[in-house]
Amino acid sequence: MELGLHEILSMPRRVFLNEQKEIKQKTTGERIRLFMEELGPTFVKLGQFASTRPDVLPKDIIIELEKLQSNVGPFPSDEAKKILEEELEAPVEKMFSEFQEKPVAAASIGQVHYAVLQTGEPVAVKIQRPNIEENVKTDLEILRDIAGIAEKRLEMAARYNIVEIIEEFARSLKTELNYLNEGRNSEKIKEQFSNNSHIHVPEVYWDYTTAHVLTAEFITGTKLDDVQKLEMKGHDPGLVAEHVVKAMFHQIFIEGFFHGDPHPGNIMVLLGDRTVFIDFGSVGQLTSEMKDSLSMFVIALRRQHTEGLIKAIDRMGMIPEDVNINELNRDVENLRDKYYDIPLSHISLGDAINELFTVAYKHQIRIPADLTLLGKALLTMEGMVERMDPDLSIIKMAEPFGKQLLKERYQPKRIAENLLNELFEYRELLKDFPKNIQDVKSVIKKGKVRVEISVPKLEESLKKMDRISNRLAFSIVLLAFSIIMTGLIIGSAIIRQTSPIWNIPVIELGFIVAAGMFIWILYAIFRSGRF
């Protein structure tokens, strides 16, 4: 509301909201989805990206944003052919013996056409939308401005680092705009399953591939979400589901490079219960430390071990110095208690990981984007597998992979390699140590050392010190005044003795001087406002 976007989402006269009656019947999530579809491909991609962040958006809005995976209209085939010929520098008829003008699929960045190479291979030709890069660049600038305003005005936006999230989205989108990256991702995952006869990844035809055109093997199979059709064609849904889960866990725990969007449209089944993964525009990559942390989390959750869960959070993200450890422990224990004594077949690994991320973000613990993508991928996979085989336990299947990863972590060979790497790092550190000391010495000699001391609530502390010193001064002056008055009283008794000096009105003058000093110091203290 503070950004004024609610007015845009509720305006009845917008192009994408033609009838006021229909608008009032739509939920907030539906309005946001329609709004993003109207704004174009960049915002459609933003919606898809936002659907992977359950720590930032409520569940009902995420459900609507997930519908942005499809429902994108195609662009004219004439433009598609023009882009294709410009990119491959040859007429369509010369490259393909057949090219279907009507696309078989359309997405926010590009669309896919069926074609046949002159050599006879059926292929899927993905062609990027015209002027998409220029439009994306403009839209990203707008998003950065909106995010900057949001962080200044909204506490939630600042807490979740919306500007940084938009930058993550920008990097992801720019990578996805280059189809060469998608081709390399496809080949990398294909290599992962080179010895697995149950998994197939389409071949990329590099002679017909550029940054804006991707040509790959055309696959015709049965979608995973059509269980009845799978059974009609003689497939075993439970066995296929097991293959999918094992393939994803192999990518995650063993390879550390996984399909980031394993929804039913990107996974098909061929004869012999072979599973095919397609569309590798979105992928996630886990470092060795991330994989270790994830395996620790799976095993700690399985064993209901609170300290293990805390260690997993600590290793996954960067805990800020001012975090409330007691409150963090309490939230993690609540998470553990939620899954305590529950059959593994009823535990959702994706839900558990996303709830862990919610706890992390509540305490402003920074989690790598690849891990949030992992949570989304696991949720998508679980929802799909549950329809195929409700009795299949995802977390039971994940535990052996986690244990295998931990065994590899503590293998003597790996320990020796890690120790050797650390020794090399210390060697370089010691090698540069004399030079670094010399540099510091030179800076000190030149008097360029700058020391900054940060004291929390410094101004408030100084004000308190002023009040204390002023009250102390007041007490001293009051004591001095009392001593002077006492002396004058005693002196008044002495002046009854005969002496020329006592003819002067000493008592009156002393009283006037002391009273003047007293009034002046009081005025100075009260004027400063720090009594």
Selection from 343, 378, 342 nearest residue 357 by Cα: 378
Distance CA 282, CA 181 (A): 10
| Tokens read off for 395 | 């977390």
| Tokens read off for 149 | 């305003």
How far lies 323's CA from each of 356, 365, 458, in Å?
Answer: 16, 9, 21
Q: Are 311 and 296 in contact (CB under 8 A)?
A: yes
Distance CA 219, CA 275 (A): 11
**Which member of 139, 145, 236, 261 is catalytic?**
261
Q: Are 189 and 251 in contact (CB under 8 A)?
A: yes
Distance CA 131, CA 109 (A): 10
- Hey, how many other C-beta atoms are within 10 angstroms of the C-beta on 362? 13
Q: Is 261 a catalytic residue?
A: yes
Burial of 300 (0-12, 13-18, 19+ CB in 10 A): buried
How far lies 172's CA from each of 68, 178, 202, in Å?
Answer: 17, 10, 23
- The C-alpha angle with vertex 105 and arms to 104 and 107, in degrees rounded to 5, equals 160
Distance CA 77, CA 100 (A): 9
Selection from 327, 328, 303, 302 nearest residue 313 by Cα: 328
First to last CA, the chain: 44
* Cβ neighbours for 115, distance < 8 A, ≥ 6 positions apart: 96, 98, 99, 100, 122, 123, 124, 125, 215, 218
Strand ranges in 145-237 using DSSP code E only, listed in sequence order: 199-200, 213-217, 222-223
How far lies 218's CA from each of 147, 166, 226, in Å?
Answer: 40, 34, 20
Place of tokens 């007293």: 518
Q: Are 373 and 222 in contact (CB under 8 A)?
A: no
| Residues known to be catalytic | 261
